[in-house]
Amino acid sequence: MTEATPAVPSPQKRKVVLYRNGSVYTAADPFATAMLVDGDTVAWVGSEQAATSIADSSMDIVDLHGGLVAPGFVDSHLHLTETGIALGSLQLGQVRSARQLLDAVQSAPGDGPVLGHGWDESTWEDPALPTAAELERAAGGRQVYLSRADVHSALVSASLATAARLSELDGFSSGGYVRRAAHTAARQATRAVPPEATLAYQRRALAEAAANGYAAVAEMAAPHIGGIEDLRLAASWNNGQGGPDQLPEVLPYWGEITVSQEHAQSVLDSLGVPVRGLAGDLNIDGSLGSRTAALRADYSDAAGERGSLYLSADQAAAHLAACSLLGIQGGFHVIGDAGLDAALAALDLAAAEVGEQRIRAAGHRFEHVEMADARAVERLAHYSVTVSAQPRFDAEWGAAGSLYEQRLGSRSQGMNPFASFYSAGVPVTFGSDSPVTPLRPWASVRACLEHHSQDQRISARAAFLGHTRAGWRAAKYHNPMAGQLVPGAPATFAVWDVEELMVQVADGRVQSWSTDPRARTPLLPALDTGSDPLCLQTVRDGSELYSHPDFRS
């Protein structure tokens, strides 16, 4: 069969770019090697032979040198300001003792507050934490705030505890370890910076996302994290706040509880910026690492502790009913099994009030959902609730002897049931929860392939779609073609330097690669090479967000 030659767009002011001599991840042709972009739209995908026939001097022709063009990633859950701060503060992920933590504080440059992120005592041989007084001495009197890896607790110095009056709040410990309300106050005390500083943090986070192939990010703002002004600044990037620089699109959410349809509307009106929904980090519970996730039974390493339930089922139900009546997304941060019980009970109560159809149509979303048994998975599917999950959580904490097993014992085997979600028809989308895990999308895809439980592994293709097209769908994005590279779709993509392309499945009993054209399956980078693909370029709606120094050279 002779391949049809695509029509060449008529000359216009719009930029026309022909990418060729590579691979294009597209459902239109699994072996496409070229793609034509006309302005902000994909105009054509096809073979190298056809590309040769249409190439002319009016086009900007990009030789991919075997690189891969694929839809841009969407991070379905992150925090821009927190990410920017973490990128510029002490990196504590490799610290393995209290002594090393104190040494890092002592060596911190500057004369302002000492900020750090990422320590995780579950990886230490001796999990004893430094005291507030020890942090004070190490910092030479400077205020110290060091967030735990999950950002649900922190270590603070004595001077910060005094200045923020933390001793009066729930979750304060005189030893310098703070959770719940005390942690919220400590974090907010160190975030009291001018708007231009917040914008600089956010710009750094967005630039980091663009350099790693992300075309959009879902900002999960909430009163206890950064407040309305932080949300407004994050949303302003979509209106050209960054000046001439192009950056990933921000999909903003606001996590504030509401009690009625009228209240929900008044909250939306008060924000001053459009949001995708009243969802995201509206916490039903906390985190496993900080032992604030709400559990049905005690933590395995802390007898008598079952975490914190911040919202009741009745409160959550009122919020879901209000959002459903407005036709907008509601949702919660929920991690523990008792927390999920409350969220599922809320769905039942809200459905009894406004009807199941309204609940489903609103497209509600639950963030994290790390502990879901078969009954919970079934009910999530019943209500068409999107699960916004973070695969790197399993990669970081799912191995034998790691945090999940320490906190939960045998219950850790059922964590992050990705395959169960997919099998039941639960919509799933993926993100990083940055700064909790880094903005490295291919590492997230790999984590799905290498899930600690073989029964919960999914294919690279499923994981990739969960991190691209599903991200737009989860945000109820206005363009249904977003997240794919077919004629007429937005020209939103990333170019990758790859070592090898293949089809990768999660089941080791099945052949894990194929080049058989009858399979009609687009190829993705091999993720067992020891390194992630290198991002060469990121483009959103035809505008370049990032270009690697070696690209086009």
Here the CATH number for the domain that contains residue 107 is 3.10.310.70
- Report pLDDT digits (tens) over 141-179: 999 999 999 999 999 999 999 999 999 999 999 899 999
Q: How far, in Å, are 103, 284, 285, 304, 324 from residue 332 at the CA level?
A: 38, 6, 9, 25, 14
Q: How far, in Å, are 220, 387, 401, 424 from residue 410 at the CA level?
A: 31, 23, 11, 24
Give the domain range for residue 135. Answer: 85-190
Q: Is 137 exposed, middle or buried (0-12, 13-18, 19+ CB in 10 A)?
A: middle
pLDDT of residue 326: 98
The reply to whether 126 falls in a domain is yes
Closest CA to 285 of 267, 260, 312, 258: 312
Give the confidence band of 10 by pLDDT, cuts at 50, 70, 90: very low
At 31 the three-state DSSP class reads coil
Q: Residues 187, 69: contact at Cβ < 8 Å? A: no
Instruction: Please say if the pLDDT value at position 86 is more than 80.
Output: yes
Give the confidence band of 2 by pLDDT, cuts at 50, 70, 90: very low
The reply to whether 108 falls in a domain is yes
> What is the number of structural domains in the chain?
1
Instruction: Please say if the pLDDT value at position 548 is more than 80.
Output: yes
Q: How far apart are CA 389 and CA 406, in angstroms?
A: 21
The reply to whether 163 falls in a domain is yes
DSSP 272: S
Instruction: Please say if the pLDDT value at position 329 is more than 70.
Output: yes
The reply to whether 124 falls in a domain is yes
The reply to whether 130 falls in a domain is yes
- What percent of the residues of the chain are helix, what percent strand, and what percent coil, each to the nearest 5? 35, 20, 45
The reply to whether 134 falls in a domain is yes
Mean pLDDT of 511-532: 67
Does residue 104 or residue 518 have the better pLDDT? 104
The reply to whether 383 falls in a domain is no
- Report pLDDT digits (tens) over 56-71: 999 999 999 999 999 9
pLDDT of residue 529: 83
Q: Residues 26, 71: contact at Cβ < 8 Å? A: no
The reply to whether 179 falls in a domain is yes
Mean pLDDT of 413-418: 96
pLDDT of residue 241: 64
pTM here?
0.92
Instruction: Count the Cβ atoms, other than its own, within 10 Å of residue 332.
Output: 29
Instruction: Please say if the pLDDT value at position 518 is more than 50.
Output: no
